[in-house]
């Protein structure tokens, strides 16, 4: 019995060590909404660019430091915070012409696949839910940056994210046709997110 007991104990210790090693390679980061912003640009009448942003970006990044492709991302953006610097335009964007924030106060992104393109560059594929519609999108990511410790004892890292979407795909369809055949608002929207995240 002694030999079998020793084998069982050794196997249990090995399993525990492997579990500890796996958990040590995974870290959970919280997006810091005070230092994160989601910005967008869209063409106005095909001649100028309107810029805006959303605040109150929150979420969790589970980072697998031994295999970055096993990491996951879950982000929520508060659509009620849309800000283009023009109150009347912001009110229109919040109305049912565009984001309809009364019905859809948030947009979300949940990752499904992470690919390493090159050192420091990733492609993250996931589901973007906007205006009550979910579509798959691909994010181009630079980062995450090497972690640093802030003066309050928190670890901090950051990443830059970019993508393009067609707003028609998400049911955001309002527009008007111009005399020259163009439209007031382009369908293509460029999105960038500067993310800062923390862990204890």
Give the pLDDT confidence score for residue 178 in this predicted structure.
87
Mean pLDDT on 50-79: 96
**Mean pLDDT computed over every residue of the chain:** 90
Q: Measured between alpha carbons, how far is 37 from 116 in angstroms, rounded to an integer?
A: 24
User: Whole-model pTM?
Assistant: 0.84
Mean pLDDT on 177-197: 92
Domains of the chain: 26-199 (2.40.128.110)
The two counts, helices (H) then strands (E), for the chain are 2, 11
The H or E element that residue 39 is part of is strand 37-44
Q: Measured between alpha carbons, how far is 54 from 81 in angstroms, rounded to an integer?
A: 5
Q: Measured between alpha carbons, how far is 26 from 86 in angstroms, rounded to an integer?
A: 43
Give the pLDDT confidence score for residue 6 in this predicted structure.
53
The H or E element that residue 5 is part of is helix 2-24
pLDDT digit string, tens, across residues 69-124: 999 999 999 999 999 999 999 999 999 999 999 999 999 999 999 999 999 999 99
Q: Measured between alpha carbons, how far is 165 from 67 in angstroms, rounded to an integer?
A: 28
- pLDDT band of residue 24 (cuts 50, 70, 90) is low
């Amino acid at each position: 019995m002694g030999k079998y007991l020793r084998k069982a104990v050794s196997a249990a210790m090995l399993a525990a060590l492997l579990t500890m090693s796996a958990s040590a390679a995974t870290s959970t980061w919280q997006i810091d909404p005070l230092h994160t912003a989601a910005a967008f640009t869209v063409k106005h009448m095909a001649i100028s660019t309107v810029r805006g942003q959303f605040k109150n970006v929150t979420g969790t990044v589970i980072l697998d430091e031994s295999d970055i492709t096993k990491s996951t991302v879950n982000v929520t953006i508060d659509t009620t915070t849309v800000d283009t610097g023009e109150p009347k335009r912001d009110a229109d964007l919040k109305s049912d012409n565009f984001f309809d924030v009364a019905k859809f106060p948030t947009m979300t992104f949940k990752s499904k696949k992470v690919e390493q393109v090159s050192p420091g560059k990733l492609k993250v594929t996931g589901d973007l839910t906007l205006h009550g519609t979910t579509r798959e999108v691909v994010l181009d990511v630079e980062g995450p940056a090497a972690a640093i410790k802030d003066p309050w004892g928190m670890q901090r890292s950051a990443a830059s994210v970019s993508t393009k979407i067609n707003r028609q795909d998400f049911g955001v369809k309002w527009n008007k046709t111009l005399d020259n055949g163009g439209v007031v608002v382009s369908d293509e929207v460029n999105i960038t997110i500067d993310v800062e995240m923390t862990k204890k």
